[in-house]
Amino acid sequence: MTPEEILTETPDPHGARVVLLRRVWEGKILRDHAELHDHLPDVLRTVSAGSRSGRSVVVRPHALLLAGRRPESVAVGRRNL
């Protein structure tokens, strides 16, 4: 396993490619939310469908990268998930 190994990917509601790195899934998401271990397909469906909750989250460049972009090229902003 390499640190930047792509675990999976899915389009967001706008068609942009969202990539989930293995190190993020195993080293951050599952570490902090072990209950998601068997729910990767559900997480991907949520990313693809988006959320109608109206809540905004801050997307940090090191947390979410657009495929083919370097972290410094991703702007920090707000996005409904």
Inter-residue contact 51 to 81 (CB < 8 Å)? yes
Between 55 and 76, the higher pLDDT residue: 55
Query: Does 81 score more than 90 pLDDT?
Result: no
CA dist list (Å): 5 to 20, 24, 54: 9, 10, 32
Does residue 59 belong to any structural domain of this protein?
A: yes
Chain-wide mean pLDDT for the chain?
74
In the prediction, which pLDDT does 6 show?
A: 92
Inter-residue contact 26 to 17 (CB < 8 Å)? no
pLDDT digits (tens, 9 = 90+) for 12-46: 888 889 999 999 999 999 999 999 999 999 999 98
Query: How many domains, in total, are found in the chain?
Result: 1
CA dist list (Å): 58 to 5, 19, 38, 81: 24, 17, 26, 10
- Residue range(s) defining the domain that contains residue 19: 6-80
Does residue 36 belong to any structural domain of this protein?
A: yes
Both ends of the chain: CA-CA distance in Å? 29
Does residue 1 belong to any structural domain of this protein?
A: no
